[in-house]
Amino acid sequence: MTEETSKDPTVVPSGITMRGLSEIQSSLTQDGKIPEGLILGFHSNDPQTRKLAVTIIRKILQIPGPHAIQPVIDTGLVPALVALLDSEDTYLQLLTAPKSEATWIVTNIASGTTAQTGRVVEAGAIPKLVRLSESPSDYASLNAIWALRNIVGDSPSLRDRVEDAGGIDALQIHLDEATTDVDKESIACAIQSLSRILDRGLKRSEFIETGVVPRLVHLVANSSSSASIQKRALKCIGYLVNGDDHDTDAAVDAGLVPALLVPVEATDEELCKLALWNASNIAAGSQSQVYALLNCGLLTPTVRILINEQCSPRCRREACWTVSNLAAKVSGDVKVGQAFLEGGCVEGLAAGILIPDRKAKEIAVLGITKILEWQDSESPGSEVGVSLSAAIQSSSWPQNLRVTRDSCELRDRLRKDCQTLLTRWFPEYKIPAYLTADEKIPKALLRAFYSNDLQIRCIAVTKIRTIQAVQPVIDALLVPSLVSLLDSEDAGLQ
């Protein structure tokens, strides 16, 4: 009589037991492959065994580095893994669990190479992810957005497939006000996905048609938005205002200009810089766009940042761009001219010349040039023209232009531009002045004299030679060093 054996309920038809599966480590084999038992477990008819196999695959894909993606692809499981996004099993699809197993797996595979990302796309992941991005489960929707972000950032062709599947419409749903940390993460991820889509060449007109611009502007204006979210939103909007007037109108009409008042006052340097960058592009736009900037009071904090030496040079440079762009709009527009005058833009440009940033200096000189050229062409006696002329005469434009022209650190065309302005409009300042108000040699000139750069040192020696006073040179203790130059082999220093 054959001995009857009891059936182990944990043995599944695939030949792998729950106990055996649980002993498989969340790592690749020594030859870099997915353990065979894990594949058997995934194909099991036992739900618990299959769930455990899916969890272990997800953990393997979370190992730092991209080396785990290809072994999972080599198992041939990708279509089945993508199919889990439609699973009615809430664990496998994970609409409620803390970590969405199926969407986590697809997200990680989509973070690989173009070929690897293409495998999940060809398995039909995009429409499933778009659907899951609208899931009532915060975690499932967040992971779906992460996966879509990885796909759209891979290539233009995959970006187009996400767009065709309604991905942009799905992403903008997540740009509403956040109430939880997961909401905030969803918003940040959705904006980053949109940014990647824009980077891949989405037409501005198509971007406007999605209707996402007002939502982005709302995030910028909302002081409760994190700095990270505001920065990403400003980068997306910046893509529009960097286009033509029609594109910029879409952002301005959505309320961008008053919204910029929030980030422009931020202590976060990058956030403030992005806000001013958007403002400078608006200032270069149409009359209605410039008026919107003036009407909302954005010029006041812009000039304050430009003048404040404690502010970041990067922020001051963007503020200088805004004022310089406005300078080009003064001609023929009384309202802009009056705002330029009353807003302190004259002294703002004077401060811009002294910003320790070569590009900022160039921008300030450009704005000053525009105003001076307009002044020459302005009808004599106009109220704005007379007031602006008086403001220029009492400003520090000529002094600061002379300081820049005489700088030892600048060797390019900027010094020549400053000299041109001084010769034409401020001839009394064209003669070099290398002493401070208290008749001392400037520290910058002393640093240049002791520089290891021979060319800079030669320029400094030449400037010291032109000083029409002996005592400041003696007081600066330069005499011994100057005498030693007589032994120099460099003819320029001698």
48 and 18 Cβ atoms separated by less than 8 Å: yes
Q: Tokens for 219, please give them.
A: 């995030």
**Residue in the block written with tokens 């779906």:** 144
Residue 17: what are its φ and ψ, rounded to 5°? -95, 160
pTM for the model stands at 0.70
Angle at 77 between CA 13 and CA 133, to 5 degrees: 115
What are the pLDDT tens digits along the chain (494 aa)? Answer: 444 443 343 343 445 555 555 556 667 888 888 888 888 888 888 888 888 888 888 888 887 766 789 999 999 999 999 988 886 554 444 433 433 678 888 988 998 888 999 999 999 999 999 888 887 777 777 788 888 888 887 887 888 888 888 887 777 766 765 445 556 777 777 787 778 777 767 788 888 887 889 989 999 999 888 899 899 999 999 999 999 999 999 999 999 999 999 999 999 999 999 999 999 999 999 999 999 999 999 999 999 999 999 999 999 999 999 999 999 999 889 999 999 999 999 999 999 999 999 999 999 999 999 999 998 877 656 788 888 889 998 999 998 998 888 776 666 789 889 989 999 999 877 766 667 767 788 888 888 888 888 888 888 887 777 675 678 888 888 888 888 888 776 655 55
pLDDT of residue 1: 41
Q: Which residues contact 164 (CB under 8 A, 6 or more apart)?
A: none
pLDDT of residue 242: 93
CA 260 – CA 220 distance, rounded (Å): 7
Between helices 358-377 and 383-393, what is the axis angle to 10°? 140
- How far does Cα 179 stand from its chain's mean position? 25
pLDDT of residue 4: 41
Q: Which residues contact 120 (CB under 8 A, 6 or more apart)?
A: 78, 82, 106, 109, 110, 147, 151
277 and 260 Cβ atoms separated by less than 8 Å: no
Name which of 58, 12, 62, 59 is nearest 37 in CA terms: 12
158 and 149 Cβ atoms separated by less than 8 Å: no
